[in-house]
Amino acid sequence: MEEREGVIRFRLEHRAAPPAAIAVIAELDAWRTVLHRLGLVGQDPARYHGLGFGNVSMRDAGGRGFLVTGSQTGHLASLGPDGYCRVLRCDVAANLIVAEGPVPPSSEALSHGAVYAARPRAGCVLHGHSPDIWRMADILGLPCSDPAVPYGTPAMAGEVERLCVERLEPDRGLFVMGGHEDGVIVYGATPSTAGQLLVSTLTQALQRLALSASAR
């Protein structure tokens, strides 16, 4: 099946609502800015048919769902509260998302929801696109989702759940998305836990890439 980055494949019920308070999303949004500066989140005519890529989320403090970046916001260097919406219900089996906020949710919201469902201690999920981590995934021994499972589908959500539970820790973990070019998902108790794990994994990938280049 052809992969279509950024295209929403779940049923969406979305209604307009005011944005989240800046104090609520400040840490997550700062990490999203870092990921954008590192090229893990963005939009580039030379990558993925020019569609936006990468998205971030955090569990809602009220315990109802999670806040996630809006669909096709990758081109923006900084987002602020207007770039996020609240997912109130994420029903993987029904392939349904109910959301409210100033923008509709990211096309990958279902994968974020699958991580929160599988790992109750995950407070933040970051999805970035890193050719370096992807290329070094085997060498770094990173868990990888089944390449045959198309992204953004209930099957992908099931695969995410399996990886989280079977291969990763309760409060932090990282895996690459086998069927989704350059895709990496990381979760942590807080945005900083998740962000630091992603950046340290990128650093390890760059280190191994440099070593394998020098060995040639």
- Binding residues for Zn ion, rule: CB under 5 A, are 183
Pick between residue 113 and residue 183 the one whose CB is nearest to Zn ion: 183
Least Å from the CB of residue 80 to Zn ion: 22
Three-state SS at 38: coil
- Pairwise CA distance, residues 67 & 105, whole Å: 9
Least Å from the CB of residue 163 to Zn ion: 16
Nearest residue by C-beta to Zn ion?
Answer: 183
Pick between residue 4 and residue 208 the one whose CB is nearest to Zn ion: 4
Q: Are strands 96-100 and 11-15 parallel, antiparallel or unpaired?
A: parallel
Pick between residue 72 and residue 122 the one whose CB is nearest to Zn ion: 72
- Pairwise CA distance, residues 137 & 147, whole Å: 13
- Residue 212 to residues 135, 153, 198, 205: CA-CA distances in angstroms? 12, 35, 21, 11
Least Å from the CB of residue 81 to Zn ion: 23
Three-state SS at 147: coil
DSSP per-residue letters across 51-113: --B-EEEEE-TTSSSEEEEBTT-TT-S---GGGEEEEEEEETTTTEEEEESSSPBPTTHHHHH
Pick between residue 7 and residue 148 the one whose CB is nearest to Zn ion: 7
- Pairwise CA distance, residues 63 & 79, whole Å: 23
Least Å from the CB of residue 16 to Zn ion: 25
Least Å from the CB of residue 4 to Zn ion: 10
Pick between residue 42 and residue 183 the one whose CB is nearest to Zn ion: 183
Pick between residue 29 and residue 111 the one whose CB is nearest to Zn ion: 111
Least Å from the CB of residue 127 to Zn ion: 6
According to DSSP, the residues that pair with 66 across neighbouring strands are 59, 87
End-to-end CA, the chain: 36
